[in-house]
Structure 1
Amino acid sequence: MRNTFKILVLTVLLSNLSLAQNNKEIALQKGNEAIKLMDNGKIEESIMLLEESQKLDPENFNYPYEIAYANYLKKDYKKAIEIAEKLQNYKEVSVQLYSLWGNSYDNLNNPKKAIEIYDSGIKKFPNKGLLYLEKGVVYELEKEYNKAIASYQKGISVDPKYPSNYYRIANLYLNSDDKVPGLIYGEIFLNLERTTDRSREMSKNLFDAYKNSIVFENREMKELNLCKQMSMTPTDKNLPLCLMFGKWFIYGLLHSKAEEFNLDTLSKVRQGFLKSYFEKDNKDYPNILFDYQDLMSKNNIFDAYNHYLFQMGAEDEFSSWFQKNETEYNKFVEWYTKNENSININERNFFHFIN
């Protein structure tokens, strides 16, 4: 009789386990279908399926999170916040929850509360760049640009391979009178995020920044306007970054004997800049981007890299160059697309601009 009881209990346990497994599998199927519906703009239908998934697998964080996200997509930010508040103590809570939660407050014109939520998330995820990005965007919208820059820089310092902080800070500087940090942040961004709409936009932004900063008159270089006005004292040992950059950029311009600005000119000037920088200033101004450029120069692909990098600012010029240099370009692509040749940026060598 006792053995019969044990068998009965075991049978019930196995039956319950099988039912739980089946419920989770069904929930997953419904959840996947819900995501497809959401991607196709069928938000309400998606929410219905996700709610069914949540009932079948109530401990799973993903289903209520996706419901919150669906409400965010349909601009029901209050509902998204209501759901997000209940999810913060889930074991599987993600950094994306705090992004969604804070963004919902920001969209309800409550930037102070949004920042508070991002900061709560940063305490849980201190090494993720996303929430520093979100804080920076809020500060930008509030026109608190110094705070935005500080947030993006902090995001870069803790998560130096996360591209979006570079993208935002680069555009801030490129739209200022102090373009050099924007040129550096923007180029690093392009080496972290390739072949996206944002990278194509940044390619053009960088080319235009160089083009608009160099003034030619009567086929001679007259001005270079990359730096804001700044002062120095006799005790300053090093030039500010912008002046160091401008010094060797002008040298590169003069050495190239350029008579006008174009894609070929820019590449030649950057080659001259790089040579002078490593001869004179790399120890006093270490820079991971210039190290990466030097690596390409040593592999004889820096000219092709320059044409690739800025092609969206001069598409016809790039096409003409490519027709004449296809072999060189293919050599660059073969090298550049190998994982081991990616820019080796980390928490010890990331670029940090100090005003």
Structure 2
Amino acid sequence: MKKLLILPMLLLGALATFGQAGVVDAHKQAMDKAKAGDLDKALSIIQTAEQSYPDNLSLLKDEAFINTWKKNYTQAIEVGKKLVANPDADEQCYQILGSAYRGASKYSEAERVYTEAVDKYPENSLLYAELGDALKQNNKLPQAKDAWEKGIEVGPSISSNYYFLSKFYADQKNPLWSVLYGEMFINFESFSGRTSEIRTLVTDQYAALFATPAVLQNYIDNGQGFEKAVATTFQQFQDMVTGGVTPESLYALRGQFIVNWFNSDNAKQYPFKLFDRQQQLLKLGIFEAYNQWLFASYNQSRFSNWGHMHDGLIKEFSKFQKSSMFKVPKGEYYAHN
């Protein structure tokens, strides 16, 4: 799978400050054309500007971006190599070259570029996300997992690491971490093209988590501190889903989980932003609407009917969802098996 974060990167270029007005004008004109779909004209504008400002880092970035967007990966790689060789090269230069290599399915080269990048910029979480994807494409799953986990540790508010790990842990039959990371991703990206995919995954992984009592018991017996605490708390209320893992039973179980978590020492010993968010939703009276939305894939028509019957709650939750930013502080990363 190729996840080339081209448009967000393109927009980042507009934030740079340049000494030459001609570079700024060329960048703006080219980006306007690119966003309108005229990539050939956008590339022509940049190449014309490069005649007056050769080796300008901003223009080289734009040239590589546009070529990658055009799927002209050979040219994008050639320009990307110039970028990382530039003495003023920054993190974005490595992302550009790595994205071009990934687009061309040259994952070994992408892995090499991203490895060099995280050595130079060890606090850049997005680089770890892209390194992990390259490693995955090279069939190096344990190393990919480690890269994504490191990305969460150093930059806990970058969503892509959670996205990749929620899917990885689902494949590895590790539903506890799949639901935790998956739900965190959904709170970072509530409206992206990836949201529906992970909402469905989280619904399925909750069913796997409560498939048999042995699943939670395994985390209690073999897990590390945080996951033991989470599994032990879930275990206290697992009888609530014996009749089926549905949006309604999960709403009841998860509500009891949060009340118990914050009435115990767990909340102080293991601060966790996702649980803070759930407690906030409970206090606001919109936790049920959130759960119905989160687990809508269980039965979409049933969710639609619930929404019609609880229109006020849905609107209140939707307003909160659109106005509230989810951000995770450093220091809430917990090692686990």
Q: Scaled by the length of structure 2, what TM-score is found? A: 0.81
Q: Do the aligned residues in 1 keep the contact of 2:30 with 2:41 (CA within 8 Å)?
A: yes
Q: Which residue of 2 aligns with 1:180?
A: 176
SS at match of 1:197: coil
Distance 1:140 1:115 in 2: 10
- CA contact under 8 A between 1:153 and 1:352: conserved in structure 2? no
For the 8 Å contact 2:178–2:205, the answer to whether it is kept is no
Aligned ranges 1:228-307 → 2 under 5 Å:
232=221, 242=227, 244-254=229-239, 256=240, 259-280=243-264, 282=266, 283-307=268-292
Give the Å deviation of 1:204: 1.4
Please report how far the alpha carbon of residue 29 of structure 1 lies from its aligned counterpart in structure 2 after TM superposition.
Answer: 3.8
**Residue identity opposite 2:173 in structure 1:** D
Matched, 1:147 2:143: yes
- Give the conservation status (yes or no) of the 8 Å contact 1:177–1:228: no
Range with greater deviation from structure 2 (122-131 or 184-193): 122-131
Q: Say yes or no: does 1:309 pair with 2:309.
A: no
Task: List gaps (5 residues or longer) in structure 1.
Answer: 1-22, 216-222
Aligned to 1:4: none
Task: Please report the RMSD computed on the Cα atoms of aligned residues, expressed in angstroms.
Answer: 3.1
What is the percentage of aligned positions where both structures have the same residue?
24
Aligned to 2:336: 354
Shift of 1:279: 3.7
Structure 2 counterparts to residues 151-162 of structure 1, below 5 A: 151-162=147-158
Quick check: 1:54–1:60 contact (8 Å CA) kept in 2? yes
Structure 1 contact 213–225 (Cα < 8 Å) conserved = no
1:1-80 alignment runs, 5 A limit: 24-58=20-54, 60-80=56-76
Structure 1 CA distance for aligned equivalents of residues 328 and 264 of structure 2: 23
CA contact (8 A) 1:186 1:206 kept: yes
Paired residue secondary structure (1:88): helix
Counterpart in the other structure of 1:209 = 205
Per-residue deviation, residues 204-248 of structure 1 (Å, max 9, x unmatched): 111122235445xxxxxxx25755957948xxxx87655544443
1:90-129 equivalences in 2 (<5 Å): 90=86, 93-107=89-103, 110-129=106-125
C-alpha displacement of 1:59: 6.1
Q: Distance in 2 between matches of 1:82 and 1:40?
A: 25
Q: 1:343 to 1:103 in 2, by over 3 A?
A: closer
From 193, 197, 201, give the equivalent of 1:197.
193
Quick one: distance in 2 between partners of 1:77 and 1:166?
Answer: 28
Give, as a single letter, the amino acid of the residue that structure 2 aligns with 1:297. Answer: L
Equivalents in 2 of 1:289, 1:231: separation in Å? 20
Q: Partners in 2 of 1:152 and 1:265 — Cα distance?
A: 32
| 8 A Cα contact 2:210 2:241, kept in partner | no
SS in 2 for 1:126: coil
Contact persistence 1:28–1:53 (CA under 8 A):
no
Q: Between Structure 1 and Structure 2, how many residues are aligned? A: 318
Match in the other structure for 1:18: none
Distance 1:332 1:77, change over 3 A: closer
Change (3 A) 1:117 1:267: same
Measure, in 2, the Cα distance between the counterparts of 1:214 and 1:123.
Answer: 40
Distance 1:199 1:68 in 2: 29
Q: Distance in 2 between matches of 1:104 and 1:93?
A: 16
Instruction: Decide whether aligned partners of structure 1 residues 141 and 321 sit closer, same or farther in structure 2, where only a CA change above 3 A counts.
Output: same
Task: Measure how far apart 1:330 and its partner are.
Answer: 3.0
Structure showing greater radius of gyration is: 1
What are the ranges of 5 or more consecutive residues in structure 2 without an aligned counterpart?
A: 1-18
Q: What per-residue deviation string (whole Å, max 9, x for no partner) do you get for residues 282-333 of structure 1?
A: 1554433223222322333322221222224432222122222222333334
SS at match of 2:28: helix
Distance verdict in 2 for CA 1:164–1:231, change over 3 Å: closer
Q: Compared with structure 1, are the counterparts of its residues 230 and 272 closer, same or farther at alpha carbon in structure 2 (3 Å cutoff)?
A: closer
